[in-house]
Amino acid sequence: MKVEFYGHVRQYHNIKSEIDHNIKAVLESGQYVMGPMLKQLEGELAAYHGTKFAVGVGNGTDAIWLALMALGVGPGDEVITHANTFFATAEAIWIAGATAVLVDCDPVTKCIDPAKIEAAITPKTKAIIPVHLYGQCADMKAIRKIADQHKLFVIEDNAQAIGASGNGFKVAELSDVTCTSFIIQKNLGTFGDSGALVTNHAHVDATVRKLRNHGSNARNVHSYGFNSRLDDLHAGILSAKLKHIDAWNDLRRKWAVRYTAGLKAAQQFILPTELPGYRHVFHLYVIETKKAEQRDALVKYLVDNGVDAKTHYSIAIHKQGGYPWGRGARTVGSLANAEWNAATCVSLPMFPELTEAEVDYVIAKTLEWDKAQH
Ligand SMILES: Cc1ncc(COP(=O)(O)O)c(C=O)c1O
């Protein structure tokens, strides 16, 4: 059997008529950039997140640095995030011209460890970017509290957790801006690149609307800006898919329960933990090998047996070659948990359209490898 890592085509086939309908509507409208479909999607995204505003942009990375820029964070400022996020979180801080301050992650959730944030705060600190890594929310209550004490902005990097919630809080409820990516493989993904931010701050909404469109919100009238727009064809695809996101996340959660039940007797792995009261939306189902030297062997065994396993992310940001490329960067304290995560992580196939037979095959092959280590 072969088990793919992604199910993009299956998903397309399952809701083909809805996607095709919206693509046709855009094509027939004659308006492909900043048209009515983008407006519709922005309204739907704001309603979904319970925010006043949503702005579509070119990709999730742009959403983060445009948010920083709109909040006035730039050269001379420091922004705190954690070392084991996807590279783009730090990249966005650098694009905004700020210094990326990397702290350790929580050993259980792999999200930023709030206890590590305080020691990283200096008079230059302007913002914290928690990442809801793998689909589970960071501890937003603790992070908001620290931010309020030190008068810092909070920008949620929600590229991986649309539809998630924490114990007593929802995504976008405790931050200034929440950024998301709609690249193909995300829980809500289009057939290409795009992203968005949601916020309750009118000035962030207005500023990003201008920045994304050559500093313009009226024909021929410009200020400093960029081109980072969410095209209407993608908006149409996303609008069709947004109606299914909660059901798709439920399916991801179902497969996660099945993986965990099937793998709990294994001896060589640490399985993902869903915190009490949280809704983890399992963008990724990431196990860790108990020994770092086992990781590559496990991935190879799975791939050799038809299971497309991957690693997210096997090189922490501060360990990338050439880091930090002349950009402002500093690490604070031990990053041992982030480095451990990088050394031992293995992502098993996870997408809503998996079948029971596929999940059971992945479990069987993973257990087979586990047993061979005894
Ligand atoms: C945590 C995280 N942040 C930011 C991004 C950047 O999004 P994009 O690829 O749309 O620029 C991604 C995904 O690619 C991500 O996973």
Tens of pLDDT, residues 211-267? 999 999 999 999 999 999 999 999 999 999 999 999 999 999 999 999 999 999 999
Q: Could you give the CA distance from residue 227 to residue 307 in angstroms, rounded to a whole number?
A: 39
Low-confidence ranges of the chain (pLDDT < 70): none
Residue 58 in contact with ligand 1 by CB distance below 6 A: no
**CA 69 to ligand 1 centroid distance, Å:** 18
Judge contact between 252 and 281, C-beta under 8 A.
yes
CA of 25 to the centre of ligand 1 (A): 28
Q: Among 183, 186, 228, 317, which is best to mutate for testing ligand 1, by the most ligand atoms less than 8 A from CB?
A: 183
157 pocket-lining for ligand 1 (C-beta < 6 Å): yes
CB atoms within 10 A of CB 240: 20
> DSSP string spanning 137-152?
---HHHHHHHHHHHT-
Give residue 316 CA to ligand 1 midpoint distance, Å: 15
**For residue 318, how far is the Cα from the chain centroid?**
19
* Cα gap 138→111, rounded to integer Å: 5
Is 56 touching ligand 1 by the criterion CB < 6 Å? no
Greatest alpha-carbon span in the chain: 70
Strands (E) located in the chain = 53-57, 78-82, 99-103, 125-128, 153-157, 165-166, 169-170, 177-181, 195-199, 269-270, 285-289, 329-331, 345-348
CB of 89 closer than 6 angstroms to any ligand 1 atom: yes
Q: Which atom of ligand 1 is closest in space to residue 181's alpha carbon? A: 10
Q: Is the CB of 183 under 6 A from ligand 1?
A: yes
Cβ distance 36 to 22 under 8 Å?
no
Q: How far is the CA of 61 from the centre of ligand 1 (A)?
A: 6
Reduced DSSP (H G I as helix, E B as strand, rest coil) percent helix, strand, coil of the chain, to 5? 40, 15, 40
pLDDT for res 291 = 97
Of ligand 1's atoms, which has the minimum distance to the CA of residue 195?
10
Among candidate residues 264, 49, 205, 210, the one with its CA nearest the CA of residue 273:
264
Probe target for ligand 1 pocket from 6, 57, 61, with the most ligand atoms within 8 Å of CB? 61
In short, whether 195's Cβ falls inside 6 Å of ligand 1 is yes
Cβ atoms within 10 Å of 173's Cβ, excluding its own: 18
Q: What backbone phi and psi angles, to 5 degrees, belong to 294? A: -85, -20
Give dist(CA 152, CA 146) in Å, integer: 8
What's the CA-to-centroid distance between 82 and ligand 1, angstroms? 14
One-letter amino acid of 168: G
Q: Which residues contact 187 (CB under 8 A, 6 or more apart)?
A: 135, 160, 161, 162, 163, 245, 248, 249, 252, 281, 283
* pLDDT the model gives residue 374: 83
User: How close is the Cα of 370 to the center of ligand 1, in Å?
Assistant: 32
Q: What are phi and psi of 29, to 5 degrees?
A: -75, -25
The Cα–Cα gap between 53 and 176 comes to 12
Residue 71's alpha-carbon distances to 149, 152, 342, in angstroms, are 18, 11, 31
Q: Is the pTM of this model over 0.95?
A: yes
Torsion angle in degrees (nearest 10) through CA of 140, 143, 145, 149: -160
CA–centroid distance, residue 197 to ligand 1 (Å): 12
**Residue with CA closest to ligand 1 atom 8:** 60
Pairwise CA distance, residues 233 & 23, whole Å: 6
Ligand 1 center from residue 374 Cα (angstroms): 38
